[in-house]
Copies of this chain bind each other. A is one copy, B any other.
Amino acid sequence: MSNEIKPTEGELEILQVLWDKGLCTVREVHEEIAKTKDSGYTTTLKLMQIMHEKGLVERNTSAKTHVYKALVTRKDAQKSALDKILNTVFTGSTADLVIQALGTHRASQSEIEAIKNYLNQFENPEK
């Protein structure tokens, strides 16, 4: 039980953009966020500065315009998010979570196949 990645709602929005685009200036992140939400530029800037203090991102300050990069990976965040809801609402049952997920958010046929293939890895390998 080492790392607790717990970005806030606003931080997650920013991480999304960084994950999708890789290296980004504050302006780039802000433009992207402004598509679905309207808040000021300095709001995004401030959040990203705080994320830097927290170690969620790193930045290159050699030029006037700083360039940011996510330090937490999407996978890290996924694992944390899963751990959290598993330990709270799902009382630790992975199977419950999986079945709920498949039940309410219908997967496509190809996704279902992918999952089945994945499961087959665990099919008593040494029979």
On A, residues with C-beta under 8 Å from B are 12, 16, 74-75, 77-79, 81-83, 85-86, 88-90, 93-102, 104-107, 109, 111-112, 114-116, 118-119, 122, 124
Contact = CB atoms under 8 A, between A and B. Distances in A.
10 contacts: A74-B89, A78-B89, A79-B104, A81-B88, A83-B105, A94-B101, A98-B101, A99-B114, A115-B115, A115-B119
A85 B104 CA distance: 14
Given A82-B85, A88-B12, A89-B81, A115 B98 contact: yes
Given A82-B104, A112-B119, 14 more contacts: A74-B89, A75-B100, A78-B85, A78-B89, A82-B85, A82-B97, A85-B85, A86-B101, A86-B105, A94-B101, A97-B101, A99-B115, A102-B119, A109-B124
The 10 A-B pairs of least Cβ separation, nearest first, read: A95-B111, A81-B85, A94-B105, A94-B107, A77-B89, A78-B89, A98-B98, A81-B89, A12-B88, A95-B114
A119 B111 CA distance: 11
Contacts of A95: 107, 111-112, 114-115
A93 B23 CA distance: 23
A74 B77 CA distance: 23
